[in-house]
Amino acid sequence: MTSYLGELAALTTAFCWSFTSIFFTLAGRQAGSVVVNRVRLVLAVIFLMLTHQLWLGAALPLNAEPYRWFWLGLSGVVGLVLGDAFLFQAYVWIGPRLSMLMMSLVPVISTALAWTFLTETLGLSQLIGITLTVGGIAWVVLERTGHRKKQNHTPDNPNYLRGILFGLGAATGQASGLILAKQGLGGDFPALSGNLIRMLTATAVMWSITLVSGQAGATLRRITHRNQTLLLVTGGAITGPFLGVWLSLVAIQLTEVGIASTLMALTPVLLLPVGYFFFKEQISWRAVLGTIVAIAGVATLLLV
């Protein structure tokens, strides 16, 4: 029963992150990715503290050991400040579907980092999984470039290649954050508390930079200039750093990491119809097949 609950949490995470990418893409195009990144962290901390108070009887996990604060806090800075800064800009430049497709590399990068820093060895099946995932992503990414060369015209999106690189940076940041978070979530430590520590640290770092750079006033003006923007950021904060990240930690605790990670990696597949109907992206059969191959690679990598 516990395993089924973990799988359900992982699948729900994928759905949450699908909505998150849409909310933040639209909000980023209105207010800028940096503004959205700053505000959504504050909103997430508010939601998490209220939930922590109701769920665990305290607004903050002050009884957590110092080493948990260190590792989870560092994970928050790497994954939520640096990694998500890349991701939000990628949303703006290349849209949610391709951005989340690049995020399919997270399990691959995580495995490589674990092999490098935690001396975990790679087997043949894992190498096959890496090849499939990278190949599937490259197939989709290179399709547009090849199409443009064939048509011999100026690309309609001059930021396309930069968006791909930022997507790769986002995947690297999230993967590194997962490796660091693993050090702080050992035992039966509540996933909600771990998420709150990560968000608190990331918010403190992000807003310290904002205050020092004198951008706090401009951030508030841009986010409140249009009510629709604030609503979009609020929706993204609920489905992303609040529910999505919390559920992802629950999933990993209740079921095998391979199963949970594979289900959470379904987000780009779920975004295919969204990109077509809402963002007017032309989705070819090659893009569909490339996405399927990428997800198959993730499954091969993590389920062996």
Contacts of 213 (CB under 8 A, 6+ apart): none
Contact 271/96 with Cβ under 8 angstroms?
yes
Q: Round the average pLDDT of the chain to a whole number and report it.
A: 82
Q: What is the DSSP letter of 226?
A: S
pLDDT of residue 186: 78
Counting runs of H as helices and runs of E as strands, what totals does the chain give?
14, 0
- Residue 148 token pair: 């443009």
3 has pLDDT over 60: no
The tokens of 183 are what? 């050090």
154: Cα separation from own chain's centroid: 31
CB within 8 A of 95, min separation 6: which ones?
25, 275, 279, 281
pTM above 0.85, yes or no: no
Residues 13/248, Cβ–Cβ less than 8 Å: yes
Give 280's DSSP letter: -
Q: Which domain holds residue 221?
A: 2-302
User: Which has the closest alpha carbon to 21: 223, 177, 170?
Assistant: 170
pLDDT digits over 245-264, tens only? 999 888 877 776 666 777 77
> Scanning the structure block, which residue is given the tokens 């430590």?
189
Residue 49 vs residues 46, 52, 116, 152: alpha-carbon distances, Å: 5, 5, 36, 54
Identify each DSSP E strand in the chain by its residue range. Answer: none
Q: What is the pLDDT of residues 113-169, one digit of tens each?
A: 877 776 666 677 767 877 787 787 777 766 654 444 443 333 467 788 899 999 999
For every residue of 139-162, which 3-state class applies, written as one string?
HHHHHHHHHHHHHCCCCCCCCHHH
Task: Name the phi and psi angles at 189, rounded to 5.
Answer: -65, 130
Q: Please state the domain count of the chain.
A: 1
How many CB atoms are located within 10 Å of the residue 160 CB?
A: 17
Given a contact cutoff of 8 angstroms between Cβ atoms, the answer to whether 90 and 166 are in contact is: yes
Count Cβ atoms below 10 Å from residue 187 Cβ, excluding itself.
6
Q: What is the DSSP string of 41-61?
A: HHHHHHHHHHHHHHHHSSSS-
32 with 222: CB under 8 angstroms? yes
Per-residue confidence (pLDDT) for residue 146, from 0 to 100? 47
Per-residue pLDDT reduced to its tens digit, 190-205: 999 999 999 999 999 9
